[in-house]
Amino acid sequence: MSTVTQFSELALSKPLLSAVKSLGYDQPTPIQQQAIPAILAGKDLMAGAQTGTGKTAAFALPLLQLLSETSNPENHIRALVLTPTRELAQQVYKSFVRYAENTEVNIVVAYGGVSINPQIEALNKGVDVLVATPGRLLDHVIKGSINLSQLQHLVFDEADRMLDLGFKDEINRILKRVPINRQTLLFSATFDDAIFKLSKNLLTEPELIEVNERNTTAAKVEQLVYSIDKNRKREFTSHLIGAKNWQQVLVFTRKKQTADELAKEMCKDGLKTEAIHGDKSQGAREKALAEFKAGKVRALVATDVAARGLDIADLAVVINYELPFVAEDYIHRIGRTGRAGNDGLAISLVSPQEEGLLTAIEKVLDTRLLQQWFPGYEPDLEKSLDAAKKQRRGGSKKRARAKALGNAKRKSR
């Protein structure tokens, strides 16, 4: 493949080039270099790219180019971008609008958790590109406020997360409403069997593009793992943020309740902190995110679902307060930092009970993540040994139970 280094070499129109220039993008990122020509050539795409690699522009720019080349007198929806979360929908929408500022292309966003009527009004004004979450899209389809029969381009953004969040049925229902003859672009940070299966149903002779090795973390993110007791994590988190004078830190928890409790405690420690998760209203999530972005809130505690797709420029530090249950989520989490070529730091706090989760992450990454102690926060070894013993006992009990069940089954055959 030839090495394209300038946007001007990518066969994009002047209005798009000037939008990109005004955003300060000097050169296309690797995913943009590869995806833009393929999309302009009308190919289906299966692209492995994490958020932060510039993947939104990688599909938005060529789609805007193709859509600007023809008119849309009957106001049909011509491109649909599906995203797993509301936050990602908003972000993709905002990026699209910025890239399209010098064109006539109309872009509308539709996601749940907010009133449907303003979306219907926006749709009625005419739309070329619709960015939507699957559930709300189907609400619109049922209400008759949208018609996908003339769709030309279908994009799945963060397809892996769409499957994780259980959108398979919704996706199948949507596919029944769109023309078979269309261009389909599938973006996914991670690839597993489920994604390959989905891609087989969706794509026709796709071009495969991978800018990072499969299931790897963003290249410039330094990963530190601290072994620490569970009950000292909160104190340590506040201490680290204060001692290092970090001004914008994204902290991950597994549960909504932990996110809320931790945010409250960190506020008591003198750090302005907000929590963001699925139980918060859309308004509250947006407000917290806006304050965090504006630097009014120093730490944002988020669950995996809420944080997926967040684009926060120059986010330097991510703290995994708890390791995720799903190992691939680790990649998504730490992909919040080290974006667009910046350096990033990802810190994981691992209690003895989480050793198994760390091993699973190491397997997915195919790397060893060395654990270290932070002076003053070393884990209580006696307790760790007790926890390990308990885990082993639990494991052997489970094995004994499984064995007994197996015997019982064999007997009953």
Site string for ligand AMP, 315-344 (x = CB under 6 A): ------------------------xx----
Buried b / exposed e over 359-372, threshold 16 CB at 10 Å, is: ebbeebbeeebeee
Of 15, 37, 48, 52, the one binding ligand AMP (CB under 6 A) is 52
Are 309 and 189 spatial neighbours (Cβ–Cβ below 8 Å)?
A: no
Angle at 305 between CA 299 and CA 309, to 5 degrees: 75
Stretch that binds ligand AMP, among 55-63, 219-227, 268-276, 400-408 (CB under 6 A): 55-63
Output 68-74 pairs: Cβ under 8 A, ≥24 positions apart. 68/13, 68/15, 68/16, 68/103, 68/104, 68/105, 72/126, 72/128, 74/150
List 15, 33, 37, 55, residue binding ligand AMP (CB under 6 A): 55
The amino acid sitting at 325 is: F
57 contacts ligand AMP (rule: CB under 6 A): yes
Cα distance between residue 303 and residue 314, in whole Å: 20
- What number of other Cβ atoms are within 10 A of residue 339's Cβ? 21
Q: Is 53 in the site for ligand AMP (CB under 6 A)?
A: yes
- The CB-of-23 to ligand AMP minimum distance in angstroms stands at 6
Q: In angstroms, what is the minimal distance from the CB of 267 to ligand AMP?
A: 29
Q: Is residue 184 within the footprint of ligand AMP (CB under 6 A)?
A: no
Nearer to ligand AMP, 285 or 339 (CB): 339
Instruction: Write out the binding residues for ligand AMP, residues 21-50 only, by CB under 6 A.
Output: 25, 27-29, 32
Judged by beta carbon, residue 56 or residue 227, the one nearer ligand AMP is 56
Please answer whether residues 165 and 329 qualify as being in contact, where contact means their C-beta atoms are separated by less than 8 angstroms.
no
Q: Residue 12 or residue 387: which is nearer to ligand AMP going by CB?
A: 12
Q: Using the rule CB under 6 A, is 311 a contact of ligand AMP? A: yes
DSSP string, 187-241: EESS--HHHHHHHHHH-SSPEEEESS-TT---TTEEEEEEE--GGGHHHHHHHHH
- Kindly state whether residue 3 participates in binding ligand AMP, applying the rule CB under 6 A: no
How many CB atoms are closer than 10 A to CB 285? 23
- Helix, strand, coil % (nearest 5) of the chain? 45, 15, 40
Show the tokens assigned to 403.
């064995």
Say whether residue 62 binds ligand AMP (CB under 6 A).
no
Q: Rule CB under 6 A: say whether 51 interacts with ligand AMP.
A: yes
Give 157 or 274: the residue with its C-beta nearer to ligand AMP. 157
**Which residues, 338 to 377, sit near ligand AMP by CB under 6 A?**
339-340
To ligand AMP, the closest distance from the beta carbon of 32 in angstroms equals: 6
Q: Does 83 bind ligand AMP (CB under 6 A)?
A: no
Among 54, 324, 338, 379, contact with ligand AMP (rule: CB under 6 A): 54
Q: What are phi and psi of 187, to 5 degrees?
A: -110, 135
- Does residue number 84 form part of the binding site for ligand AMP (CB under 6 A)? no
Judged by the rule CB under 6 A, the positions of this chain that interact with ligand AMP are 25, 27-29, 32, 51-57, 311, 313, 339-340
